[in-house]
Each structure stands twice: as structure tokens, then as C-alpha cells.
């Protein structure tokens, strides 16, 4: 392909000044460790000094890991206009959506996600299909999607006829069109479509499970009659089959509802299990060579995202360079100044670009385009030797062992392995419903390789990161797709408990990987994971392990005050100067990063504060729970994060007036942070001690939301049972400090 018609371009991002700053801070860390060791050798080997040395050594290790990931950032530019000569040959795409709980993830939210997917730009809609997994087995969700399919007949043509940019109706109709764009015909049509959408919203929000089942004269919800959320047969419904559309090439993509079979006797593996069912159902129906998966709370914000992804999937001479294409997560309706530190702006701008310069960005669990064959465990060097194999041969039997007993699934897998994929789906998907139910049964995976060598990986609540690591360990690389406007937009938690729950779930899954059989270091030694990429995985895997060290460091000030000791180095050997220089340098470094990303000083402070809060709450609780699970005393529980209701009510601006305030409940995640806040108040009250007043004052600022929570009321006050437990720990700590 000539350079003039290139589909993608890899651009190195210059970073010389930042590299010098990285090295400077690293030198300060080593100098601090040297001074600490010298002070111990001079007779200052108190318990506090030894603890400080261990913690500072850990902080140095974490800094080295972060330096590795930031060192060689790159970005990819895509040129979808150069696909014009290849439009007929573009591969088909199966779009997979997952939802788990109709209460925490309102059906209207899922409907907007699905409608935005159905309205995406692609040369041939027959090459697109959307599959929705409903792990809540909710007739309301099924009804909502059925109604969405009817509305899509109006919405999709409207979007394409007028070049609508944002194709999620709730977001599009949140504002009136520009006057210069709103001609008489357009205004009338806009008003009509909005009216139809408002009717759709009303029908969905007024629907309830009881009335749907009670008034089901057409028998559309018969399969839900005896269904219980955790125990029911598989349900597969084709809500729209575009092959039956009156005009070929028009209409909108196929839409299929799936609620996998569940039994209390079988482990369902959370989201990973749902994704594997969707992979199998889509394989026996449309078997597209490319899979896009999104969460139910994110919508398409750039209608050409699939074309941009194709530039990266097809634009390399060696497909190994783009095993999967990951879109970074961005959010809509963001709270000002990111009060809960979960918008991840700097993480996306600084770390993801650095990952792209290594073996590639992690798989983030949503907004990702996979080659189906890498989900099936195909290594880059694998040959297509299966394409001439017949039933009964060794290779065919190997596929049955891996993929299960379904003849249709094995045949579809063989087509993927061999590359013999028809240009567009040729079958009537409605004729495959029984086959789809077979491969969605709860015991289908027994004695197969699903969840191990093929599909989404089991063994961690962070199934996305683990699956991506398995792909990288096979030798594949991944690419980062960051378009303007952003490809997808999702919603972030907008309250204290939801934010901390989300961090806890992420950290739990990551630590499970690190302490399990899937360590990235072992993958480097025995597989094809590059060494620097394995260190990049460790940056996130050690989230929870940071908690004990940060808690210890946070307690050193109060401990030393009550024991009449000091963990700060003396000014006589320049130790205190080094500590002060390190404190200033690190904070200035982070502050400049936020400024460079176009963020406010308040955003920087909120994120710095939340890092400390999350570490001593979510990460510490996760660390303890995973350790207990490892020794067999507990088990981890998957928690669905409650989505903001404003994402589904048709108006993204209808937030509560007090969003951004920290709210509390009786969760144990708040106990230790409350304890540390009380301890630092106590140390300030007792009196000033050498230089430590700066430490205590800084800690007070970090935990200010919890200090306000101690005197707050209602949702904004820390519950009395949490305060009581925190005071018990404070008293125990003070008693410990009385030791000899």
C-alpha cells in the first residue's frame, strides 16, 4: 500500500523533559534510601525508622514501574477516508453488550447503548449484528429491547439521513439542533422523532415485570414465567433479523437478546461467563471475524468508530501488530473537577500512550475490537491447517474438545481458524435459536477449554485484564484508538460508596491475577510476554499491595508522637532536605501533568486526595479479602456498580444538586479511613511535635471529606456503627503505642 493511501500511522510522542524529571525523582528516592540506611547504621534503628525504610523502598519500586510504562509513548493516527477502495471487503463485526442487573443498570440505559450501536456508519449493515446479554433475566429488559428495535426503524434512517453526530437518543435530544441546521423539513422530522422517543421512554419506564407477565397475550414473555434470576433455562430471542428487511443493504443490524441458562449448581463466572456465551451464540449465528464489546452504560459518540478501528486492524503489514484495538474509556456528564478521582484523565493521557509504545495497551473490558481468532486462542504464528480437515479427523476432534459438542460451533470455529469466512452472513439467524440455546446452557463448557485457552479467561474478577494478558502472552500486540470526537462515552460513579466499590472490584481482580497462576513474570519466562510489558501489568496488579505500605506510612506520624520517636531524617545529614525536596518534586510533577492535560488545580488535588483515600479503604479491604481467599477462609464477591440514573432518563443534566459531595454508608470500606482521620485530628489536638505538624496537616487535608463526615448528617455523615468501630481501632492503636 502506498504511503499516500496508508490507513494508520504510528507517531512517537517526544518526552525528553519528562524523562529528566523521572530520573531526578528516582535519584531523590535512592538518596533518601541511602540516608535512611546510614541513619540506621548510626544507631537510629528504631521501629519507626525501619518501617519508614521498608515503605520508602516500596515507593521506589512503584516509581520504577511507572517510569517503565511512561518512557516511550506513542499515538496512532487513523485515516478512514482511505478505506474507500476497500469498502466491499471490510469484515463483518459482531457487537456484544452485557448487562447484569435491571435495578443497578436501568433498561433505558441499555436501550440507548444498543440504539447508538445500531446506528453506526458501516458500508453494509448486513455485516453488523448486536447481541445483548441479560444476566438479570429481566422481562423488562427484554421488553425494552423489543421496543427499541421498533424505534430503531425510525431512529437509524434519521441519523444517517441527517448525519447525526451523537447517536444515543437521550444525549442527542438533550439539546435543540443549531438554528442554521434546522430547516422546516428537518425541524418537523426532529420533533416527530423526539416525540416517538419520548413515547419509548414512557413505555419502558412504566413497564414492570408483573404486568408484562400478566398481560402477555401474545406469549412473548412465556419463557420468563417461571424464571428466577439465578436459576432459569436459557432464553434467546431474535428481536430484529435484517435479512428479512424488504431492501438489501438498508434497515439496521440484527438484534438478538440472550439470557444464558443459570443453575445454582454451576459457577457462572460473572461477566467473563456472559461474554463467552455471547461469543458462542454470535458464532453459531453470524460468526463475524471481528468482535466489539461494550458495557451497557456506554454509547457510540463517534459514528465512524468501526471504520477507524478497521484502519488499525487492516493497516499493518503484519496483523500481529494489532491483535485487538482498544478505545480508552471516557465519560459524559462528568462532575466538575473530578471529585471522586474516577475520570482517569491523566491515566489515559500519560500511561495509555506509554503502553502503546510497548507490546500494547491492556484490554480494558469495554470499547474493544478483537479478532475473533485471538479470542479462540490462535497464536500469531499458527497456520490454517484445519481448513481441509473433515469430521472425524484429529484436528476436528481437537476442536470439539476445545469448543464443545455443538457441530455448528465447531464448524464456525474451523472457519475462523482457516480464514474461510463468507463476506457476509448467509444464514437465517432465526433458524439458529435452538443451537444458540444449546451453546448458552450452563453445563456446555464442562470438559472444554472455554475460560482457559479460549474465550474470556476465568480465575479473576478482572477478566478483561487477564484475557488481554493471555493474548499478549501469545505474542500478539494491541493498539490504542483515541479518536476526536471520542469513540465511546460512558458514565462514572457519582458518589463515595459507588466509587470505592468500583475501585475495590478492580483491585480485587488484579491481585487475584498476581497471586494466582497467571503472574506476568511467569508469562515472560515461559511464554511470549515482553519483559517491559510484564512490568507494565505490575503497575496495576500491585494496586492492593500498595495499601499496607501507605497505611503504615500514614500511621508513622501518630505512632512516633505517642512513642516520642521520629521517623523523619535529621537535617544534619541532609536527610530532611532530601525528604522535603522529594515531597515538593513529586507533587509539582503530578501538578504539571494535570496542567498539561488541560485540567484544573482542583482536579489535581481531588485526585491526589482520592489516591490516599482509595488506598487506605478499597485497596486495603481488597488486600485483606484476597489474602483470606488465598488461604481458604473467604471468597470474593462480584459487586455491580450502580449507574447514575441520569444516564437513562433522557436528560444528562438532571443530576442531584449535591453531586460531588462525599456520601457514606455502613460499608466496612469506610472504617480504616475514618480511623486514620480521627488519629490525625488527635495528633493535631495533642500538640505540635518537631516537623511532624506538616505531616499531620497534610493528612488532615487528604482526609477532609471524612473529617466533615464525622460531624455530617444523613447520607453525608459517617454512620455511628462505622465511627464506633473506628474508635475501637484508635483505642487499640493508642494502647499499642504505649509499649516499651
Binding positions for UDP-alpha-D-glucose: 105, 135
Q: Report the relative pairing of strands 290-295 and 368-371 from DSSP bridges.
A: antiparallel
Of 94, 464, 622, 644, which residue is the catalytic one?
Answer: 464
The owner of cell 466538575 is 336
| Distance in angstroms (rounded) separating the CA atoms of residues 372 and 724 | 53
User: Can you say whether the dihedral through the CA atoms of 58, 60, 66, 72 is positive or negative?
Assistant: negative
Instruction: Please enumerate, by residue number, every residue annotated as part of a binding site.
Output: 105, 135, 271, 295
| Residue-by-residue DSSP string for 141-161 | HHHHHHHHHHHHHHHHHHHHH
Residue 132's nearest CA partner among 4, 236, 25 is: 236
Tallying the residues shown for the chain, one arrives at 740
> Could you tell me which residues come within 8 angstroms of residue 275 by beta carbon, excluding any fewer than 6 positions away?
96, 98, 133, 293, 455, 456, 463
Of 22, 94, 135, 338, which residue is the catalytic one?
Answer: 135
> Could you tell me which residues come within 8 angstroms of residue 246 by beta carbon, excluding any fewer than 6 positions away?
none
What percentage of the chain's residues is helix, strand, coil (to nearest 5)? 55, 10, 35
Give me the numbers of helices (H) and strands (E) for the chain, helices first please: 27, 12
| Residue-by-residue DSSP string for 228-243 | BTTBB--EEEEEE-GG
Assess whether 464 carries a catalytic annotation: yes
For residues 662 and 717, the answer to whether their CB atoms sit within 8 Å is no
A 10 A CB-CB count for 9 gives 13
| Residue-by-residue DSSP string for 590-612 | HHHHHHHTT--HHHHHHHHHHHH
| Distance in angstroms (rounded) separating the CA atoms of residues 82 and 5 | 6
For residues 149 and 239, the answer to whether their CB atoms sit within 8 Å is yes
Grid coordinates representing 149? Answer: 428495535
For residues 351 and 120, the answer to whether their CB atoms sit within 8 Å is no
Grid coordinates representing 457? Answer: 479467561
A 10 A CB-CB count for 123 gives 16
Cis peptide before 485 (omega within 30 of 0): yes
| Distance in angstroms (rounded) separating the CA atoms of residues 557 and 579 | 14
Assess whether 135 carries a catalytic annotation: yes
Query: Quick one: angle between helices 463-473 and 496-515, nearest 10?
Result: 40
**HEC letters along 691-703:** CHHHHHHHHHHHC
Q: Which residues are catalytic?
A: 135, 464
Amino acid at each position: 500500500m502506498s504511503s499516500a493511501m496508508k490507513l494508520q500511522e504510528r507517531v512517537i510522542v517526544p518526552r525528553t523533559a519528562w524523562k529528566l524529571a523521572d530520573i531526578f525523582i528516582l535519584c531523590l528516592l535512592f538518596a533518601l534510601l541511602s540516608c535512611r540506611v546510614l541513619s540506621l547504621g548510626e544507631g537510629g534503628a528504631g521501629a519507626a525508622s525501619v518501617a519508614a525504610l521498608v515503605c520508602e523502598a516500596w515507593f521506589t519500586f512503584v516509581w520504577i514501574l511507572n517510569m517503565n510504562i511512561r518512557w516511550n509513548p506513542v499515538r496512532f493516527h487513523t485515516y478512514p477516508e482511505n478505506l474507500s477502495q476497500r469498502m466491499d471487503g471490510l469484515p463483518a463485526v459482531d457487537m456484544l453488550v452485557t448487562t447484569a442487573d435491571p435495578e443497578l443498570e436501568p433498561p433505558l440505559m441499555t436501550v440507548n447503548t444498543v440504539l447508538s450501536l445500531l446506528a453506526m456508519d458501516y458500508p453494509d449493515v448486513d455485516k453488523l449484528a448486536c447481541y445483548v446479554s441479560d444476566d438479570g433475566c429481566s422481562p423488562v429488559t427484554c421488553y425494552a429491547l423489543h421496543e427499541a428495535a421498533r424505534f430503531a426503524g425510525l431512529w437509524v434512517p434519521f441519523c444517517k439521513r441527517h448525519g447525526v453526530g451523537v447517536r444515543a437518543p437521550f444525549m442527542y435530544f438533550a439539546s435543540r439542533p443549531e438554528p442554521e441546521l434546522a430547516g422546516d423539513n428537518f425541524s418537523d422530522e426532529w420533533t416527530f422523532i423526539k416525540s416517538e422517543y419520548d413515547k419509548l421512554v414512557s413505555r419502558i419506564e412504566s413497564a414492570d415485570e408483573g404486568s408484562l407477565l400478566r398481560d402477555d397475550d401474545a406469549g412473548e414473555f412465556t419463557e420468563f414465567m417461571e424464571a428466577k434470576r439465578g436459576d432459569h433455562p436459557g432464553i434467546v430471542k431474535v428481536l430484529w433479523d435484517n435479512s428479512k428487511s424488504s431492501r438489501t443493504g438498508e434497515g439496521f443490524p440484527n438484534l438478538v437478546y440472550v439470557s444464558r441458562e443459570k443453575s445454582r449448581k454451576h459457577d457462572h463466572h460473572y461477566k467473563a461467563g456472559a461474554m463467552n456465551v455471547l461469543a458462542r451464540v454470535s458464532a453459531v449465528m453470524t460468526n463475524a471475524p471481528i468482535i466489539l464489546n461494550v458495557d451497557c452504560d456506554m454509547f457510540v459518540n463517534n459514528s465512524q468508530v468501526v471504520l477507524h478501528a478497521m484502519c488499525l486492524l487492516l493497516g499493518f503489514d503484519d496483523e500481529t501488530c494489532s491483535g485487538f484495538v482498544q478505545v480508552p474509556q471516557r465519560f459524559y456528564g462528568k462532575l466538575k473537577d473530578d471529585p471522586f478521582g474516577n475520570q482517569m484523565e491523566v491515566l489515559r493521557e500519560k500511561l495509555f500512550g506509554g503502553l502503546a509504545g510497548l507490546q500494547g495497551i491492556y484490554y480494558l473490558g469495554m470499547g474493544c475490537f478483537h479478532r475473533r481468532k485471538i479470542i479462540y486462542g490462535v497464536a500469531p504464528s499458527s497456520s490454517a491447517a484445519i481448513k481441509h480437515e473433515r469430521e472425524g479427523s484429529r484436528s476436528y476432534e481437537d476442536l470439539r474438545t476445545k469448543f464443545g459438542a455443538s457441530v455448528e460451533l465447531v464448524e464456525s470455529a474451523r472457519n475462523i481458524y482457516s480464514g474461510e469466512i463468507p463476506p457476509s452472513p448467509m444464514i437465517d439467524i432465526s433458524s439458529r435459536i435452538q443451537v444458540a440455546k444449546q451453546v448458552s446452557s450452563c453445563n456446555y463448557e464442562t470438559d472444554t477449554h472455554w475460560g482457559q485457552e479460549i474465550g474470556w479467561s476465568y480465575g479473576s474478577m478482572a477478566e478483561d485484564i487477564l484475557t488481554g494478558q493471555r493474548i499478549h502472552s501469545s505474542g500478539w500486540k494491541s493498539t490504542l484508538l483515541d479518536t476526536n470526537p471520542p469513540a465511546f462515552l460512558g458514565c462514572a460513579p457519582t458518589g463515595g460508596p459507588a466509587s470505592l466499590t468500583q475501585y475495590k472490584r478492580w483491585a480485587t481482580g488484579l491481585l487475584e491475577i498476581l497471586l494466582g497462576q497467571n503472574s506476568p513474570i511467569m508469562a515472560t519466562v515461559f511464554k511470549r510476554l515482553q519483559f517491559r510489558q510484564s512490568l507494565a501489568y505490575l503497575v496495576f496488579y500491585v494496586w492492593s499491595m500498595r495499601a499496607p505500605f501507605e497505611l503504615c506510612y500514614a500511621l508513622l506520624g501518630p505512632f512516633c508522637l505517642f512513642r516520642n520517636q521520629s521517623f523523619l531524617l535529621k537535617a544534619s545529614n541532609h536527610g530532611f532536605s532530601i525528604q522535603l525536596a522529594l515531597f515538593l518534586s513529586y507533587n509539582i510533577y503530578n501538578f504539571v501533568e494535570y496542567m498539561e492535560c488541560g485540567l484544573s488545580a482542583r482536579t489535581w488535588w481531588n485526585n491526589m486526595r482520592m489516591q490516599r483515600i482509595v488506598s487506605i479503604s478499597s485497596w486495603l479491604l481488597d488486600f485483606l479479602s484476597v489474602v483470606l481467599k488465598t488461604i481458604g477462609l473467604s471468597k470474593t464477591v462480584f459487586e455491580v456498580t450502580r449507574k447514575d440514573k441520569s444516564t437513562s432518563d433522557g436528560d444528562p443534566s438532571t443530576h442531584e444538586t449535591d453531586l460531588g459531595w462525599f456520601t457514606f454508608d455502613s460499608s466496612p470500606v469506610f472504617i480504616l479511613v475514618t480511623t486514620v482521620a480521627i488519629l490525625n485530628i488527635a495528633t493535631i489536638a495533642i500538640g505540635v511535635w518537631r516537623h511532624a505538624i506538616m505531616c499531620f496537616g497534610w493528612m488532615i487535608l487528604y482526609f477532609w471529606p471524612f473529617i466533615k463526615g464525622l460531624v455530617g448528617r444523613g447520607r453525608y455523615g459517617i454512620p455511628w456503627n462505622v465511627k464506633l468501630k473506628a474508635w475501637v481501632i484508635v483505642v487499640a492503636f493508642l494502647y499499642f503505642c504505649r509499649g516499651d
